[in-house]
Amino acid sequence: MKPMLRAALATAAVALSVPASAQFAKAEDAIKYRQSAFTVLAQHFGTLGAMANGKIAHDADQARADAEVVALAATLPWHAFGEGTDKGRETGARPEIWKEQDKFKQRAEDMQTAVLGKLVPAAKSGDLEQLKATFGPAAQSCKACHDDFRRRR
């Protein structure tokens, strides 16, 4: 392999393995970013849920595609909860996020364990029974965080 190509591939591999981290010019940008990430996550998570719950037909290719998006989106919101992004306009985020950081981080990790560790591989397997078995715990991990940290609207 040509050295230049090898270097380019190595850079690409690093870029994919390091968690995304955007620099936000202002708090509103971070808030919009994390809300958008959750919107994308919920949309594709919802499709997997509809398949798991028999509301729509199971389609293995669609489930795989949704799982790819879920796998990325589930990693995105967290770095957009930085200092100062609790202020300003009303958002869905409760102030407890910044007061109970360890607990919030734990909830985020629990979600990623259930989603990245279990649901995503199950959805990619093409086996509906695996999808059914892992969707409930994943949804529960969403709810656990919402109960403590999302503003009721």
Piece of 4-12, 39-47, 55-63, 123-131 that binds ligand ASC (CB under 6 A): 39-47
Q: Are 47 and 62 in contact, with CB atoms under 8 Å apart?
A: yes
Q: Can you give 108-132 as a three-state secondary structure string?
A: HHHHHHHHHHHHHHHHHHCCHHHHH
42 touches ligand ASC by CB under 6 A: yes
Of 34, 37, 47, 49, the one binding ligand ASC (CB under 6 A) is 49
How far lies 76's CA from each of 65, 107, 125, 141, in Å? 18, 15, 24, 16
Interface pattern 102-141 for ligand ASC (x via CB under 6 A): -------------------------------------x--
DSSP string, 129-148: HHHHHHHHHHHHHHHHHHHH
Q: To the nearest whole angstrom, how small is the minimum distance from the Cβ of residue 120 to ligand ASC?
A: 15
87 touches ligand ASC by CB under 6 A: no
Q: Is 59 helix (H, G, I), strand (E, B) or coil?
A: coil
46 touches ligand ASC by CB under 6 A: yes
Q: Are 67 and 123 in contact, with CB atoms under 8 Å apart?
A: yes
6 touches ligand ASC by CB under 6 A: no
Q: To the nearest whole angstrom, how small is the minimum distance from the Cβ of residue 65 to ligand ASC?
A: 17
Judged by the rule CB under 6 A, the positions of this chain that interact with ligand ASC are 42, 45-46, 49, 139, 142-143
